[in-house]
Amino acid sequence: MNKVKSAIITAIVVAAIVVAAVFGVASFNIGVADRYNSIAANIPLGSEFSGYVYTNVYPEGVLSADDYAALDDEDKASYEARGGLYVSLEESGFESYEELAAAVESDASVVAARLGDRGLTDFEVTVTDGAAIVAAVPSRYTYAAYKGDSSTDHSNALSVAAGTLSMLLADGELTLRTTDGSITVDEEAGTTYDTTRFADEYTDADILGDGSATYPFVSSNEDVASYFSSVSAFTFGGSHVLTLNLSEEGREAIHTISTYAASSSSQTMYLCIGDTQILSIPCSATIDTDVMQYTMSTHDAAMDAASVLNSVVSGSQLEVDYQPLVSVLSGTARGGENAALLAFIGCIVVLVAVCAAFVIKYKKLGGVLAMSCVILALVLLYALNILAIQTGIAVLVTCGLALVLFGAANLWLLAEVRAQCKTGKTMQAAVKAAYKRVLLPVVDIHAVVLVAAILVAAVCAGEAAACGLILVVGTIASYALWWFTRLMWFVCSAPVRNKFAFGGFKREVYGDE
Amino acid sequence: MNKVLKLRHIAIIAAVVVIAIGMAVGTVCHFLAGGFFNYGDEFASYKSVEITTSIPEDVHGDTAKAVAEEALSGLGAYQTSFSEGTGLVPNKVIYKFYSSASDAELNSAVDRAVQLLADKGMEDGTAMLHVNEGFAGGSWQLALAGIALASAVVFQGIYFALRYKLGMAIAAFGTQVASVGLYAALLALTRCPVGLEAIAFTAVVMVVNMICSAIFFDKVKRSYKDDSNAKTATLELVTLGASASVKPAAVVCIAAAAVAVILGLFSFIAAPAAITLAPYGAALIAVVCSALAFAFICPASYGELCGMDRKLKS
C-alpha cells in the first residue's frame, strides 16, 4: 500500500468517526424554532439519570395536607391527623386505623408484585404514614426530554409512565361490561343482585371516558377472574399481542357472553378492573376458543395489561377502595439533577484514559487502537439509541466492561506481537504470527461472553436484560474491531519505514533481515 | 503464584470459609436486620419531608425549593426531588432521610419550613414529615437471572471442556461458582446497599472471570504443547501459566475497577451522598471477587485437580 492510498483510507475512517461523534454527542439549534438533539441526548434514561414518575394513591377517607386544607371546618371535623396525613375512619369504611393500615400495607405488596411482574426492576412502592401508597416508575426520559429540549419526547414518556401507573394501580373486581343496558345473562330464578363492593361492581363511573354508562354482562355473583387461567403478552414483528388463556369454565362463559355481545349495538366487550378499562374486545361473532389474543397499541400497554390481569386472575386484587388518580408527577433524577451529564462526562473520561494509556504504551499503534476504542464507544452509543435501551448505572458499567473486553483482547495481542518481535521476526511477520497465536483464545473469550450475554438478555428482565443486550452488541463489536485494528494497523503503518517505532516495539535479534 | 499453588488447599478453604461466613451473616441478617442483603434505597424504608406550594403563588416552585434548602439542608438528606406542579397540582419538594434520622430534628425543621412559607406569603404552602415503608417486588426476576447466569456458567464449562481439558472446565466452573459465592458473601458481609442492579453486576463478575480464566488456561495449554516442557511436572507448568497470566488478568481487573471508580466519582459529584456510591461499591466488590477468585481459586483448583489426576494414574 502506498502513501496516498494509506492517507485516503485513514482520512475517510477518521472523517467517518468525527461525523459520527459530532452527531452522536452534539446537540444544536437549527434556525430559530428547530433543534437537533444528539444521539446521546435521545437515549432513554433510568431513574438514576432522569428520575421517577410517581403518584400518591389515597384510600377513600384519607387526605393529604393540601386536600385537608381545602376542606371547610365542618368537613375537617371527621378527620384526624395521622403522621403527615388526615384520616376519616367514617369515610374510609374501616373500623380502626390499624385495620386500614394493614389493608394498605397488603395492597402495597400487591402493587410491588405487579410492577415486578411487569418486568420492571427499577421502581419504588412505599406506604406513607401507614395510610397511602406512593408508586413510582422510571420516567424513561431522554436527556433532551429531561432538560426540556424535546417536549414531545417528554409528554410521550410521561404518558407511558402514567398509563403504567394507572393500569397497575387499578383496584376492584374484574368485570366484563357492555354499553348496552338491555343485555344481561339470564338469571336463575330467585338470584338476588349484590351491589356491594367486590361483588358485581355496578358503577356510575365513566369507565370508557366518553360519558356512556356500562353494565356488567354477568349479573349475579360470578367471579369473572375464574374465567381466565393466565394472561401473557409478547411482541413479534411489530405487533404487541395480549394472550388470555381461558379456563374450562371461562370458555363456556365467554361463549355465552360473546353471543350476547355480538347481538349488542356496540358488538364489544369491555374487560375492566374496578373503574379502569383494561381491554376492549371486539365481538362480532360468538367466541369459542381456549385462547383469546388481541393486538395492543404498544408493547408497554400489552405488558401493563398482562401484569395487572395476571395479578387479579391469581387472586391478588387491591382490597381498599382508593380515590381516583388525580395526577402523576415527575421528580428530579435519583442520582442528582445533573447526574446524566456527569455520568456522560465520566464515560468520556474513561474513554480518554483508555486511549491515552494505549498511546503511551504503544505509540502510534496505540493511536490506531484508540481509534478502534472510539469506534466501539460510538457503536455502543448508537446501539443504546437505536435499541432504546434504558440506560442506568448498570448499563454504563456493562459498556465499560465491553471496553475492557476489547482492551484485554488487544493488549493480549500486542503482548504477543512484542514477544514475537523479540524472537527476531520482522514487524509484519510478528503481527501475523501474533494474530495466529491469540486468535483461538480471543474467539474463546468472545464466544463465551457472547453466549452469556445472549442468555442474560433473553431470560432476564429490566436492567439485567438491558445489560445483556448491550453486552451482546459490545462483544460482537469488540471482535469485529479486533480485526479492524489489524486492517488499520496495516493501512496506517504502510508508509512508515520503521514499523517497530510505529508500534513502540523493540527488536532484539536482527538475524532474519 | 508459586506460593498460592503451594498453599492451594488453604486458598480453597479460605474462600469456602469467607463464603460460609457471608452466608451465615446474610442468614442472620435475614431474620434480624430486614434481609439477606442490605436492599438499596428503592426498597428501604425512609423518612421524608415534603414541602408543597400552589401554582398561582409560586409559579415555577422556586420558593418551595428555597424554603426546603433553608430549612432542610445540613440535616443529611440522601436524596432530594422536585416536581413542578400543574394547574391544581401543587409544586412538591421532597427530601429523603434515612430511617434513623431524628424525629425531633426533622419536626423542628418542618416547623421552620412552615414559618418560612408563611413569611414568604405562601398561604397554601404546606410542610409535612412522613414515614415511608418500602416494598420489594419481582422476586421471580432474581430466579430468572439465576437461571440465565447458571446456564452461562454451564455453557462455559462445556465450551472449555471441548476447547481445553475436562479438568480446566471443572476448574473454570468451580471458579465461577466461587466468585459468585464470594460476591454474594461480600455483599452480605459488607452490608453494601444493593438494588436489582446487583444482578447485572453478577454478570460483570462472570465476564471478568471468563476473560481471566481463558487467558490462564490458554497459557497452560500452550505450555503442555511445548516440547521443551515435556519433562516438567504438570504442577510446575500450571504455576508458570498462572504466573504468566497474572499481569494481563490484573490489567483486566484494574481496568474494570477503574471504570467503576471513575463513574462512581462523577456520580458522587452529582449527588454527594453515601447512597450514591452504593451501586459502584457493588460493582467494585464484583471486580474484587473476580480478581480474588482468579488469583486464588482458579490455579489452585486446577492444580488440585492435576494432583488428583496424577495420584489416580499412579
What residue of A is the nearest CA neighbor of B47? Answer: A128
CATH architecture group of domain A170-317: 2-Layer Sandwich (3.30)
Q: How far is B314 from chain A (nearest CA, A)?
A: 32
Helices A427-459, A462-493: crossing angle, 10 deg rounding: 170
Q: Which residues of A touch B259 (CB under 8 A)?
A: 350, 397, 400-401, 403-404
| A309 confidence band (pLDDT: 50, 70, 90) | very high
Neighbouring residues of A10: CB distance < 8 A, sequence distance ≥ 6: A488, A491, A492
B309 CB within 8 Å of a chain A CB: no
Q: Do A467 and B149 touch (CB under 8 A)?
A: no
Neighbouring residues of B221: CB distance < 8 A, sequence distance ≥ 6: B164, B165, B168
Partnered with residue B91 across adjacent β-strands are B53
Q: Which residues of B touch A330 (CB under 8 A)?
A: 83
| A331 confidence band (pLDDT: 50, 70, 90) | confident
Q: B275 phi and psi, to 5 degrees?
A: -65, -25
Task: Considering only the beta carbons, identify the residue of A121, A326, A347 that sits closest to B196.
Answer: A121
Q: Name the more confident of B45 and A272.
A: A272
A81 CB within 8 Å of a chain B CB: no
Asked if A354 and A371 count as a contact pair (C-beta separation under 8 A), the reply is no
Task: Considering only the beta carbons, identify the residue of B137, B214, B248 that sits closest to A113.
Answer: B137
In angstroms, the CA A175 to CA A200 distance is 8
**Total residue count of chain B as it appears in this document:** 314
Mean pLDDT of A153-157: 90
Neighbouring residues of A149: CB distance < 8 A, sequence distance ≥ 6: A27, A35, A37, A41
Ranges under pLDDT 50 in chain B: 42
Task: Considering only the beta carbons, identify the residue of A66, A128, A415 that sits closest to B132.
Answer: A128
In angstroms, the CA B314 to CA B18 distance is 34
What residue of A is the nearest CA neighbor of B152? Answer: A452
| A199 confidence band (pLDDT: 50, 70, 90) | very low
Contacts 24+ apart (CB under 8 A), B258-263: B258/A350, B258/A353, B259/A350, B259/A397, B259/A400, B259/A401, B259/A403, B259/A404, B260/A397, B260/A400, B260/B284, B260/B287, B262/A346, B262/A349, B262/A350, B262/A353, B263/A343, B263/A346, B263/A347, B263/A350, B263/A393, B263/A396, B263/A397, B263/A400
- pLDDT higher than 70, residue A371: yes
Q: How far is A201 from chain B (nearest CA, A)?
A: 28
A448 CB within 8 Å of a chain B CB: yes
Grid coordinates of A238: 411489530
In angstroms, the CA A138 to CA A152 distance is 17
What residue of A is the nearest CA neighbor of B103? Answer: A83
Q: How far is B200 from chain A (nearest CA, A)?
A: 5
In angstroms, the CA A82 to CA A327 distance is 23
DSSP structural state of residue B122: -
Q: What digits encode the pLDDT tens for the residues A52-94? A: 999 999 999 999 888 888 888 888 888 999 888 999 988 888 8
Task: Considering only the beta carbons, identify the residue of B144, B259, B276 that sits closest to A400.
Answer: B259
Q: Which residues of B touch A346 (CB under 8 A)?
A: 262-263, 265-267
Which pLDDT value is given to residue A306?
Answer: 94
Asked if B133 and B268 count as a contact pair (C-beta separation under 8 A), the reply is no
In angstroms, the CA A147 to CA A24 distance is 17
Distances (CA, A) of A20 to A17, A244, A474, A484: 5, 45, 17, 17
What residue of B is the nearest CA neighbor of A345? Answer: B266
Calculate what percentage of chain B has a pLDDT beyond 90.
Answer: 14
**Number of neighbouring beta carbons within 10 Å of residue B192:** 20
What residue of A is the nearest CA neighbor of B202? Answer: A464
For chain A, what percentages of helix, strand and coil (3-state, to nearest 5) are there? 50, 15, 30
Task: Considering only the beta carbons, identify the residue of B90, B139, B147 that sits closest to A66.
Answer: B90
Q: Do B204 and A397 touch (CB under 8 A)?
A: yes
Task: Considering only the beta carbons, identify the residue of B94, B138, B210 that sits closest to A448.
Answer: B210
Q: Name the more confident of A2 and B177.
A: B177
Which pLDDT value is given to residue A1?
Answer: 67
Neighbouring residues of B48: CB distance < 8 A, sequence distance ≥ 6: A128, B94, B95, B96, B97, B129, B130, B132
Q: Name the more confident of A322 and A194.
A: A322
Tell whether pTM > 0.90.
Answer: no
B151 CB within 8 Å of a chain A CB: yes
Grid coordinates of B115: 414559618
Q: Which string of DSSP letters, residue by residue, matches A77-110?
A: TT-EEETTEEE-HHHHT-SSHHHHHHHHHHHHHH
Grid coordinates of B295: 488469583
Q: Do B131 and A128 touch (CB under 8 A)?
A: yes
Q: What digits encode the pLDDT tens for the residues B120-133? A: 988 888 999 999 98
Q: Do B139 and A116 touch (CB under 8 A)?
A: yes
How close are the terminal C-alpha atoms of chain A, in Å? 21
Q: What digits encode the pLDDT tens for the residues A460-496? A: 888 888 999 999 999 999 999 999 998 888 888 777 7
Q: Which residues of A touch B209 (CB under 8 A)?
A: none
Partnered with residue B81 across adjacent β-strands are B94
- For the domain covering A3-40+337-503, report its CATH number: 1.20.1640.10
Task: Considering only the beta carbons, identify the residue of A329, A339, A408 that sits closest to B271.
Answer: A339
Asked if B127 and A84 count as a contact pair (C-beta separation under 8 A), the reply is no
Q: What digits encode the pLDDT tens for the residues A405-441? A: 999 899 888 888 888 888 888 888 888 899 998 898 8
| A217 confidence band (pLDDT: 50, 70, 90) | confident
A392 CB within 8 Å of a chain B CB: yes
B143 CB within 8 Å of a chain A CB: no
In angstroms, the CA A450 to CA B169 distance is 18
Which pLDDT value is given to residue B139?
Answer: 65
Selected residues 113-142 of chain B with any CB under 8 Å from a CB in chain A: 124, 126, 128-141
User: Which secondary structure element, helix H or strand E, spans residue B164, and what is its range?
Assistant: none
| A508 confidence band (pLDDT: 50, 70, 90) | low
Which pLDDT value is given to residue A380?
Answer: 96
Q: Which residues of A touch B197 (CB under 8 A)?
A: 121, 392-394, 463
Q: Name the more confident of A188 and A390.
A: A390
Which pLDDT value is given to residue A513?
Answer: 46
Tell me: ipTM over 0.85: no
DSSP structural state of residue B192: -
Q: How far is A270 from chain B (nearest CA, A)?
A: 29
Q: Do B270 and A354 touch (CB under 8 A)?
A: no
Selected residues 4-33 of chain B with any CB under 8 Å from a CB in chain A: none
Q: What digits encode the pLDDT tens for the residues A101-112? A: 999 999 999 999
Q: Do B135 and A109 touch (CB under 8 A)?
A: yes
Q: Do B248 and A440 touch (CB under 8 A)?
A: no
Which pLDDT value is given to residue A183?
Answer: 65
How close are the terminal C-alpha atoms of chain B, in Å? 26
| A192 confidence band (pLDDT: 50, 70, 90) | very low
In angstroms, the CA A211 to CA B238 distance is 78
A127 CB within 8 Å of a chain B CB: yes
Asked if A136 and A123 count as a contact pair (C-beta separation under 8 A), the reply is yes
Q: Do A350 and B258 touch (CB under 8 A)?
A: yes
Alpha helices in A124-193 (DSSP H): 143-146, 151-168
What residue of B is the nearest CA neighbor of A475? Answer: B207
Mean pLDDT of A313-323: 89
- pLDDT higher than 80, residue A279: yes
In angstroms, the CA A185 to CA A176 distance is 11
Strands (E), B67-225: 79-83, 91-98, 126-134
Return the domain boundaries, chain A: 3-40+337-503, 52-156, 170-317
Q: Do B144 and A461 touch (CB under 8 A)?
A: yes
Q: In what order do the strands lie in the sheet with A215-216?
A: A215-216, A174-178, A268-273, A276-282
What residue of B is the nearest CA neighbor of A108? Answer: B135
Mean pLDDT of A291-310: 92
Which pLDDT value is given to residue A178?
Answer: 83
Which pLDDT value is given to residue A327?
Answer: 82
* Residue (of B79, B75, B72, B58) closest to B114 by Cα position: B72
Which pLDDT value is given to residue A507?
Answer: 66
Helices B197-225, A462-493: crossing angle, 10 deg rounding: 40
